[in-house]
Amino acid sequence: MTFDDLKHAQRERLIFLDRCMTWRGMANRRDLIERFAISQAQAALDFRLYLERTGKNAPTYDPVRRAYFATPSHRSLAPTQIAEAFQDVFLESQAGLANVLPLPERRADEEIVARLYQASVAHEDVYLRYTSMTSGEDGGQWIAPRYFLSDGESVYVRAFSYKHKRYRNYLPIRIHGRPFERRPSTEQLPPDQEWQTRARVWLKPKSTLSEQQAEAVRREYGFDGELLCVETRQALEFFIARRWGLSLPGSHLEYVCTDYEPIRSDDRKLDAEPTS
C-alpha cells in the first residue's frame, strides 16, 4: 500500500482522506480534526503529505468552499470496500445522508468463551450441557474444544463430541453452567477432516433471472466470469448457504457445486480471511 511507510496513526488518517476523496469526492481539514481530534497544524501536514502521494491526480482546492475536491482522474491509493467506506465516511458525515439498519445482537458469555479457549490451548476436555436448536437440551456431554470460527456475526467453538463421536460446532451462549469440569485429553482423537479440507463453493446468478439481471448480479458480487467461487473450510460450508441466503426466496444466487481438496499445514490463508 502507498502508506505502508508511515506510522500507524498518520497512515489511518491518510487512508481516511483517501476514502473521503474516493467515495465522497471531497474533504477538508475539519474532517480530519473532528474524526481524529488533531490540531489544525497536524491536519495541514496530513493534507500536504496526501497531495504529495497523489501526484498528478492530486485533488484541487476550492477557496470558496474551503475544501479539496477529487479530480476526474482521481485513483484511490488505498482501495476500500463499500462497507468500510459507509462506516468510515458516510455515517461520519455531518450532512445526515446515511443511516444503518440495526442488526440482531448475538451475545456471548466472555467467561465461557475464555474457558473454552483455555481448554483448547491446554488440550483439555470440558463437561457441559448444551441446548441444540434441533434436539433441545442434552443431558450433558464431554467435548474436546479444538478450534474457533466465526460466521461474521457469532463466534463458535469447534470441538470433538465424545457423545456424538464426531466434530461439531457449538455456540457458546447455548452452553449452560460454569465453571466447567475439566480433565486432560488423554484419548487420541481422530483428525478433523472437515477442518483440514478446503471447500470451493461455486455460485451463479439465479436461473430465473433475465440475462440483464444476471449481469447485474455478476457486477454486484464481483464475478470474474460466469461463476463465483467462495472459498472456506469444509467445516464452515454450512454457513455459506445460511449467511448468503441461498435458500431464501429473494436470493439472486444459486448453488452450482463444491470442489474439495486437502489444506496444507503451512497454508494460513483460510485462517486470515472471513467466509463472507
Q: Does residue 259 lie within any of the structural domains?
A: yes
Predicted confidence band of residue 164 (pLDDT cuts 50, 70, 90):
very high
Q: Quick check: is 191 in a domain?
A: no
pLDDT for 108 equals: 84
From the CB of residue 252, how many other CB atoms can be counted at a distance below 10 Å?
18
Provide the pLDDT for residue 92.
65
Give the structural domain span for 60: 8-90
154 and 209 co-located in one domain:
no
Q: What is the pLDDT of residues 207-225, one digit of tens each?
A: 999 999 999 999 999 999 9
Report if residue 236 sits inside a domain: yes
> Do 231 and 165 share a structural domain?
no
Least confident of 28-37, 128-137, 182-191: 128-137
Reported as a pLDDT band with limits 50, 70 and 90, residue 138 is confident
| CATH number of 47's domain | 1.10.10
**Residue 188, Cβ density class (10 Å: 0-12 exposed, 13-18 middle, ≥19 buried):** exposed
At residue 262 the predicted structure's pLDDT band, cuts being 50, 70 and 90, is very high
Count of Cβ atoms closer than 10 Å to residue 112 Cβ: 21
Query: Do 23 and 84 belong together in one domain?
Result: yes
Predicted confidence (pLDDT) at residue 266 exceeds the cutoff of 80: no
| Structural domain total, the chain | 3
Do 237 and 268 lie in a common domain?
Answer: yes
Instruction: Tell the residue number behind the cell numbers 475544501, with chain if given.
Output: 67
Q: Mean of the pLDDT values across residues 67-77?
A: 92
> Per the domain annotation, does 96 fall within a domain?
no
Query: CA distances (Å), 42 to each of 35, 38, 78, in order?
Result: 13, 6, 21
Q: Do 43 and 50 form a contact (C-beta atoms < 8 A)?
A: no
More confident residue, 139 or 61: 61
Task: Give me the residues paired with residue 89 across strands.
Answer: none
* 168 and 231 housed in the same domain: no
pLDDT of 232 higher than 90: yes
- Domain assignment present for residue 102? The answer is no
Report the pLDDT averaged over residues 41-53: 94
- Do 116 and 50 lie in a common domain? no
Domain boundary pick from 61, 90, 119:
90
Asked whether residue 120 falls in the same domain as residue 141, the answer is yes
Confidence of residue 243 (pLDDT cuts 50, 70, 90): confident
The answer to whether residues 176 and 206 belong to one domain is no
Among 55, 90, 125, residue at a domain's last position: 90
pTM reported for the whole predicted model: 0.73
**Mean pLDDT, the chain, whole residue set:** 88
Residues 86 and 42 in one domain: yes
Task: Please calculate the CA angle 18-228-201 and round it to the nearest 5 degrees.
Answer: 120
Residue 225 forms part of a structural domain: yes
Q: What is the mean pLDDT of residues 238-261?
A: 92
Residue 2 above 50 pLDDT?
yes
Distance from C-alpha of 190 to C-alpha of 187, rounded to nearest angstrom: 9
Question: 91 is written with which cell numbers?
Answer: 455515517
Q: How far apart are CA 268 and CA 191, in angstroms?
A: 18
User: Could you count the other beta carbons within 10 Å of the beta carbon of residue 88?
Assistant: 17
Local structure of 111: helix, strand or coil: helix
Q: Is residue 233 part of a domain?
A: yes
Same domain, residue pair 205 and 170: no
Domain co-membership, 131 together with 77: no
Same domain, 176 and 204: no
What proportion of the chain, given as a percentage, has pLDDT over 70? 91
